[in-house]
Structures are given as structure tokens and as C-alpha cells.
Chain A
Amino acid sequence: MTPQVEQAVEELRNCFRGSEVISKDIGDGGAFVTIDPVHLCSVYTPRETWMKFQIGFHYPKADIYPLFISCDVKRSDGQPYGEGIVRTTFNGEPALQISRSSNHLNPDIDTAVLKVTKVIQWLNEQ
């Protein structure tokens, strides 16, 4: 992992202290990361899921995009997921893809922690 990717993983561990943050070295400088569990609001059932994503070797220049959660997660009101959420696979495992890109990314500010936090917040506002 590049030093920047290692630092991002460390910052995620510090931010999500009640969860397990696992990183897997891809070998090219980047990492696959799993945060388990991530807490969602009552809009979803179940309210806990894992979140997985790749931190590319060009991080922090590269966005963290997309992110994935378990496809067990459904809307509590039975409605479809809505724009930006689709069923797919992540590394061969069935998952829901959350497509939220960061426009005008500033590598000094837009850290992995901020990205994950924003995506969880966005999910809870749907």
C-alpha cells in the first residue's frame, strides 16, 4: 500500500472505532477495505450492513468510487432503492453499488473518512 492509502485506512479505523475495519493489500499500492458494521437509519431494514470499497493507488487524487453495501439491505417502506443505488457485485460478491462521485475533489480535504461519512449520510437521507 502507498503511505497515503495506509494513512487512509488508519484514519478509517480511528473514525469507526466500534466497527471492524479490514484492509486487503491489492499489490498495486491500493487496498480493498471493509467496514463492518455500518449503521443506517430506520429507512432501511436491516439497519446494519457492511460497507466495502477500493482505495485506488492514486488516492487521494483518486476519488473513492463507487462504494458497496450488502444486498440484504432493503427500504423499510418497500419502495425501490432510487437513483444512484443498483444491484451488482463487488469482487464477485452480490452487493448494492452506491454511486456518489465527488465533484471538484480536493485531495487535501476530501479524505476517505469524509467520503464514507458523506455516503452514509446520503443513504440515510434517501
Chain B
Amino acid sequence: MLTSHLFPGDEDEHGAVVGAAVLETSRGYRLLGRRLFLAEDGIDYVPSQHGYRMLTPEFVLRCTLACSEEGLAYLAVHNHLGDDKVSFSDTDMESHRKGYPALIDILDGAPAGALVFARRAVAGDVWVSADRQLELDYAVIAGRSQRQRYPSPRKPVGADAQYDRQVRLFGDRGQEILAAQKVAIVGVGGAGSLINEHLARLGVGHIIAVDDDRLDGTNSPRIVGARVSDLRPWYRFRPLARLLGWQPSPKVSIAKRVAREANPGTRYEAIMGNVVDQRVVKRLLDCDAIFLAADSMQARLVVNAICHQYLIPTWQVGAKVDSDPAGGIQDVFSVVRQLVPGKTCLWCNGLINSTRLAEEAASAQQRDAQRYVDDVPAPSVITLNAVASAHAVDQYLFSTLELQDTPEDIHWLKYRSADPYQPYVTVEVPRSDSGCSECQRRMGAGDLMSLPVRATESVLR
């Protein structure tokens, strides 16, 4: 909406204000666009005595008070007519120096600043206090493609020779973007362990793996990099194993080993924990992308909330075999669902089951007591996981590196392979509910809203 307001095709300047939640992270400040106030030409955005045009004092005050009420930073926006380079004029900078320290007072200490856009560039001047001014490093325009915009084109550094073949697709700059990415994988079982290896081999610079589970004899064939020794064969002497504290390897430790062997330069955080826990969630909030490859409804609810609240593009992956009561196969499919902040949402699409959320909140002992039909493990096969994980990482690559200039419509894809000689893809257009408590109310709220996490930490095995 902001892009079409600034660039309607009239080759003129236009103005707006963005209210942004502020997040201070180890990677620097992140400003999350939450509110957009479009300035009407001739009424809110008018000719100026000192520069070309300006936001009227009345509009500035109205927007500042609205931002203050919600605890948001105030960012005045206008455009210049260039393409891939943009900067503020001296007049702009002078007005920032005069105006923003006073605005910070009205905003109760929240930052005030400005953004200037060209068609493919953005520069920012943000005052985080009356005497501390920061320059915007880059902006990401969320959508099917994550459009990274800088004040001017970045000169790429030559990629390592090992990436020669993929650089022929991405370019050196693409490889550099991957190296700067921080990507989380929630669930490193069948599908997640494959995603982990894909990301490490692609050269993603920082990977976080989250899983509270350990390897066992029934999942080891599907987990990339799992070794017989990870099962601790001597674990069958259980009393002795308990005495000595021997247990099979955590899945995240196997994932870390695989990633390190594939790419020793990758920074890796292996978190043995549950994404429903506050201490785990905190480490995901400044990621550039998340892959959700966990089965639980609680994980879906939390990761879906993080996506919308912290504007982090997310891919949910899975594979399923539907069988009839007699055991006959009805359907076999792998699925990839791209979650775009404010646009596509697991809650809107009925993919978070409320009854299962309730069951997952019960203790393991109580769950056993209230299960009157024996749980039969669902079929799971590595090849089905491979279809979903490869397509999900493909989508991530094309989105992050802007490899395709495609329409912004988002489709969810199901790869059906009940007959592998005649596979086909079904396309689902996800719905979006205007009042959704997840994708709409949480959109860009950052730390201003609480996430649906539990108050206590999980007890790990």
C-alpha cells in the first residue's frame, strides 16, 4: 500500500507516516512497521517554504499522538524520484535535527525518524534519543518476496569458490545475503533435519535449531546424519544407563553436527527445548526466516504468532499419509505453506486445532489417562519429507534472493504422490480473515504484545 501511495506513476513526491514497534536485538535495532498513515496530497502533504514539500504540523501531531498511544516509534516517509540510490537532502537533515528530539518527548522516549524511498532504495535517519542518531542499514518489504532495500546498491564481495555453481544462479551478492541470514528451524526431525542440511550447504550464515526430543529407534532412519552410535546401543541396559546418565543424542546435537560438517563456517545454536517456552522463543525474534517442521499445535500457534508479530517470513512443512480404517492408503501428500506477515495465517485457515491445543496442555500422565483409543503412530517416510523440505527451501531462496519477479499472490502447495508415476500438485489459495486475532491484531506488534507461550519451562527428558 505504501509503495503504490509513494509511486502512483505521477513522478512526484508523496508523504506518509509509519508507526513502528521497536525491538532491540543483538543484531541492532529492528523497527517493525505496524501502522501506516497516508498523507493526502495538498491537505496533509503541502508545499514547503524551505524544501519541496512537507507534512503539515497538524498531520505530524495527529500521527505522533497515535504512535505515542500505542508505544510506537514515529517514522516520517517521503519519496524521491531515483531508482536504486537515495539520500536525504540537507534541508531534510536540518528539519530532523530541529524536530525529532522534541518528538521523542511526546513519544515518551520512543524513537522518531524519517525514511526516504526511491523505487528500489531506502535511506533512514532514526533518532533513538535526543542525542543519539542512527542510520538505517536496510529495510525489508515483507511479501512473497522479501525485498531488501538499501540506500545504494551493495558491492558484492566475491563468493568462496566452493559456491561457484550456485553463485551462477544467485550471483555473489546472493551468496553474501545468505551468509548474513539468521534462520531458525523449529523441529529437526524428519523434515527439519533435511532443511537443516540444505541451509548449511547453501551457506546460510547462522542457523538455530529447536527441538526437545531425542533420537530413538523409530525415527533414526528418517533423521539426516543420525548414526547408530547416537542411539547409544548400550542404552538397552537401562538400569545401568540411567545410573550413568546415558541417553540417546538430542536431535539438535545431530543437526548441529551435520551442519558443521557441511559448512564449518556456519554459526550454530542448538537449543534443546520447546518453542512454547519463553526462553526459547526469545532467541528466535530477530531471525530473517523460520521453518516450522514440528507436529504440535502449540508449536504452530507460537510460530504463527511470531511470524506476524515480529514480521518474520515462515514456511510450514509437513507430509501426511491418510489411510482408511482398514489400512488402505487414501492420500499421500507433502505440503509447504508460506506464512507472510499480515497475509497468510495458520489460524485463519483452520490449521490450528483447538481440541489438540487443549490436549497438549495436559500432563503426559493425564493425556495417557484420557486417551481411550490407542494412538497409532502415523506413517512417515523420508522421501515424502524430502519433497516438502526441498520445495520449502526453494521457496525461501527465491523469496529471500528475489530470484523471480512474480505476482505477490501466495499459494500453498500440496505435492500429492499417492501414485509416484503420476504426481500432481494442488494449489490452495489461503484465506485471510480481516479481524483475525493472529495475523491482523499481532501484525508488527513486536514486544508490545505477549506471545502465546507458557509461564513455566518444560521439563526435558
Residues of A participating in the B interface, judged by any CB pair closer than 8 Å:
2, 27-30, 54, 56-58, 61-66, 86, 88-91, 97, 99, 101-102, 104-105, 107-108
Q: Provide a sorted-by-A list of 29 A–B residue pairs whose CB atoms are within 8 angstroms.
A: A2-B455, A27-B456, A28-B454, A28-B455, A29-B456, A54-B362, A54-B366, A56-B360, A57-B454, A58-B301, A58-B357, A58-B358, A58-B361, A58-B452, A61-B354, A61-B452, A62-B357, A62-B361, A63-B355, A63-B358, A64-B358, A65-B359, A86-B372, A88-B369, A90-B369, A90-B370, A91-B366, A102-B354, A108-B437
Question: In the assembled complex, which residues on chain B have CB atoms less than 8 Å from the CB atom of A105?
Answer: 354
Q: Is the CB of A61 within 8 A of B355?
A: no
Looking at chain A's contact residues, the main secondary structure is: loop
A57-B455, A58-B361, A107-B437 given as contacts; is B354 within 8 A of A90 (CB)?
no
A1 to chain B minimum Cβ distance, whole angstroms, is 8
Q: Is B350 part of the contact surface with A, judged by Cβ < 8 Å?
A: yes
B134: min CB distance to chain A, Å: 35
Instruction: Count residues on chain B whose CB falls below 8 Å from chain A CBs.
Output: 22
Q: Please report the C-alpha to C-alpha distance between residue A99 and residue B355 in the assembled complex, in whole angstroms.
A: 10
Interface pair B358/A62, CB less than 8 Å apart = yes
B202: Cβ under 8 A from any A Cβ: no
B residues in contact (CB < 8 Å) with A = 298, 301, 347, 350, 352, 354-355, 357-362, 366, 369-370, 372, 437, 452, 454-456
Residues of B within 8 A of A108 (CB): 437
- Once the chains bind, are B357 and A56 in contact (CB under 8 Å)? yes
Q: Contact: B372 with A62, CB < 8 Å?
A: no
Considering the chains assembled together, what is the distance between the CA atoms of A66 and B359 in angstroms?
8
A91 / chain B contacts, CB cutoff of 8 Å: 366
**B372 contacts across to A, CB distance below 8 A:** 86, 88, 97, 99
B437: which A residues are within 8 A, CB to CB? 61, 107-108
User: Which residues of the partner chain A approach B366 to less than 8 Å between Cβ atoms?
Assistant: 54, 90-91
Please measure, in the bound complex, the distance between the C-alpha atom of A89 and the C-alpha atom of B363, giving whole angstroms: 13
A62, closest chain B residue (CB): B357
Chain B residue with the shortest CB-CB distance to A25 = B455
Q: By CB atoms of chain A within 10 A, which of B354, B361, B366, B455 has the most? A: B354
**Min CB–CB distance B3 → chain A (angstroms):** 33
Q: How far is the CA of A10 from the CA of B298 in the complex (A)?
A: 25
Question: Could you say which of A58, A99, A101 contacts B298, with CB atoms under 8 Å apart?
Answer: A58
User: For the complex, what is the distance from the CA of A64 to the CA of B358, rounded to whole Å?
Assistant: 6
Assess whether B370 is in contact with A56, with CB atoms less than 8 Å apart: no
Interface pair A65/B358, CB less than 8 Å apart: yes
Q: How far in angstroms is the closest Cβ of chain B from A30?
A: 6
Cα-based distance from A23 to B372 in the complex (angstroms): 26
Contacts of B456 in A (CB 8 A): 27-29
Q: Give every chain B residue within 8 A of A62 (Cβ-Cβ).
A: 354, 357-358, 361
Expressed in whole angstroms, the Cα–Cα distance for A24 and B243 within the complex equals 36
For the complex of A and B, list the 8 residue pairs with the smallest distance between their C-beta atoms, beginning with the closest: A56-B361, A62-B357, A105-B354, A101-B355, A63-B354, A28-B454, A29-B455, A65-B358
Which chain B positions have C-beta within 8 A of A99? 370, 372
- Report the Cα distance A2→B350, complex, angstroms: 24
